Amino acid sequence: MKLILSALSFLGIAMCAKAAPLAVGVPAPEVSAPDQNGQVVEFKGVYAKGPTLVYFYPKADTPGCTKQACGLRDDWEALKTKGIQVLGVSGDKPDAQKKFEEKYKLPFTLIADSEGKVAEAFGVPMFAGIARRISFLVKDGKIVWTMPSASTAEHSKDVLKAYDALAK
C-alpha cells in the first residue's frame, strides 16, 4: 500500500511539474471550448473585444470557487466600467456550469473545459482533471498579468488593482 501511495504521489507531482503557466508578455492562447450554454467560445474573438480575465477554478459550486465567482459578480459593474470581460474556466461539463451560473446569477461566461484543452494551452497545472486556481489578464492578445495562486474572496479586487497598475 505504501508503494502504491508513493507511486501516486510521484505521478501527481510529475503531472503538475509538466505544466508551467504562461508568463507575462507571451501571446494568449487562441483556443475554443464550449460555454455553460454549450456554445463554442473562440477566445481570439473575445480578446479582440477588450481586456479579458481568464480565470481557472477547480470545480463549480464548491465553497472557494463560489466565493471567487460571487466576488467577481459583486464587482461586475467595476469590471465592466474598465471594459474587462471574464471567462471562468473549470473542468466541469456545460450543464454543471449552467447550474452554477443560474444558482449564483453569474453575469459572465463559464467555460466547460472537460477535456482540459484550455488549461493545457495556458499551462495550468491539473490533477485528476481538476485545474489549479490561477488567473490571467489578457490585453491586445497578450498575457499582461497573472496571479499564480488566485485568491477567492479578494480576487476581483486583485484584478482591478492589477488592471489599474497597467495604465501607469
Point out the catalytic residue in the list 41, 54, 65, 72: 65
16 catalytic residue (yes or no):
no
Question: Among 35, 80, 74, which residue's Cα sits nearest to residue 53?
Answer: 80
Pairing of strands 142-147, 134-139: antiparallel
- CA separation for the pair 167, 129 (Å, rounded): 36
Tell me which residue has cell 474556466.
89
Question: Among 32, 49, 29, which residue's Cα sits nearest to residue 136?
Answer: 29
- CA separation for the pair 43, 118 (Å, rounded): 10
Taking a C-beta distance cutoff of 8 angstroms, is the pair 22, 29 a contact? yes
- CA separation for the pair 8, 88 (Å, rounded): 29
Catalytic residue set:
65
